[in-house]
């Protein structure tokens, strides 16, 4: 029961501090779960995050569910999921109740413009942190550059990219192109 409460509180803290969506939560996940609590490694966390991104739903919720389940089974998954969602639910209810009254005020519009810039920086920071573990060798770099180029110039479903890169990762490992 103590671990379930810890999972709920840890993910509630992450949920309350994560502005900008799933990508912006990576530094918070790393700090809280790997560095502070030692519940997982950076590599496992990135695996959970990758699976959370590839499955339907919100990345933050999926990742919380995977981490919680790995720590304490189904009850841990539920506790972590409720924890990460709870702050957003409270904040959204409060904002929805008052935002319509203030949305047209120039200062509020300006504040949201500034927040969007901050979110871009947080996402960029997350990409830089992901890069180290996600692109460890030349094979992964080729995949990364190829997916980036294709996603910029063509409207291809992310599912296709995920399936292709998963298959390529398996083949690269079998051919000895990739390895740690």
Q: Where does the pLDDT of residue 74 fall: very low under 50, low under 70, confident under 90, or very high at 90 and above?
A: very high
Residue 180 has pLDDT above 60, yes or no: no
The predicted-structure confidence for 6-54, as pLDDT tens digits, reads as follows 999 999 999 888 776 667 788 888 899 999 999 998 888 888 888 888 8
Return d(Cα 127, Cα 15) in angstroms, integer.
Answer: 19
Q: Are residues 125 and 148 in the same domain?
A: no
Q: What per-residue confidence (pLDDT) applies to 52?
A: 83
The more confident residue out of 99 and 93 is 93
Q: Are residues 169 and 140 in the same domain?
A: yes
Q: 38 φ, ψ to 5°?
A: 65, 30
The more confident residue out of 61 and 6 is 6
Q: Are residues 104 and 53 in the same domain?
A: yes
Nearest to 22 by CA among 55, 56, 62: 62
Q: How many domains does the chain have?
A: 2
Average pLDDT on 151-169 reads 91
Q: What per-residue confidence (pLDDT) applies to 76?
A: 96
The predicted-structure confidence for 98-141, as pLDDT tens digits, reads as follows 877 888 889 988 998 998 898 888 888 888 887 877 888 888 88
The more confident residue out of 81 and 101 is 81
Output b/e per residue, 83-119; b: 16+ Cβ within 10 A: bbbebbeeeeeeeeeeeeeeeeeeeeeeeeeeeeeee
Q: Are residues 107 and 49 in the same domain?
A: yes
Q: Where does the pLDDT of residue 148 fall: very low under 50, low under 70, confident under 90, or very high at 90 and above?
A: very high
Q: Are residues 102 and 165 in the same domain?
A: no
Q: Are residues 125 and 165 in the same domain?
A: no
What DSSP assignment string belongs to 113-162? HHHHHHHHHHHHHHHHHHHHHH--SHHHHHHHHHHHHHHHHS---HHHHH
Q: Are residues 140 and 110 in the same domain?
A: no
Nearest to 53 by CA among 161, 148, 151: 161
Q: What per-residue confidence (pLDDT) applies to 152?
A: 95
Q: Are residues 145 and 104 in the same domain?
A: no
- Its domain, for residue 178, covers 136-180
Q: Where does the pLDDT of residue 178 fall: very low under 50, low under 70, confident under 90, or very high at 90 and above?
A: low
The C-alpha angle with vertex 64 and arms to 114 and 29, in degrees rounded to 5, equals 55
Q: Are residues 110 and 175 in the same domain?
A: no
Q: Are residues 71 and 81 in the same domain?
A: yes
- Tell me if the pTM is above 0.95: no
Contact 70, 40 (CB under 8 A): yes
Angle between the N-to-C axes of helices 138-153 and 158-175, in degrees from 0 to 180, rounded to the nearest 10: 160
Return d(Cα 127, Cα 129) in angstroms, integer.
Answer: 5
Residue 77 has pLDDT above 90, yes or no: yes
Q: Are residues 111 and 40 in the same domain?
A: yes
Q: Are residues 38 and 126 in the same domain?
A: yes
């Amino acid at each position: 029961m103590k671990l379930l409460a810890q999972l709920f509180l840890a993910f509630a803290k992450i949920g309350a501090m994560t502005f900008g969506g799933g990508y912006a939560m990576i530094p918070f996940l790393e700090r809280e779960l790997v560095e502070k609590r030692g519940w997982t490694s950076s590599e496992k966390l990135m695996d959970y995050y990758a699976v959370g991104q590839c499955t339907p739903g919100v990345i933050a919720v999926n990742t919380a569910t995977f981490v919680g389940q790995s720590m304490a089974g189904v009850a841990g998954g539920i506790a972590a999921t409720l924890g990460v969602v709870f702050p957003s639910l409270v904040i959204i209810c409060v904002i929805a109740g008052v935002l319509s009254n203030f949305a047209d005020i120039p200062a509020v519009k300006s504040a949201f413009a500034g927040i969007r810039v901050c979110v871009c920086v947080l996402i960029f920071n997350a990409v830089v942190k992901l890069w180290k573990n996600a692109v460890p060798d030349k094979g992964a770099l080729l995949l990364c550059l190829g997916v980036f180029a294709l996603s910029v110039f063509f409207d291809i479903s992310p599912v296709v990219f995920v399936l292709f890169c998963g298959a390529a990762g398996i083949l690269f490992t079998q051919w000895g192109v990739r390895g740690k």
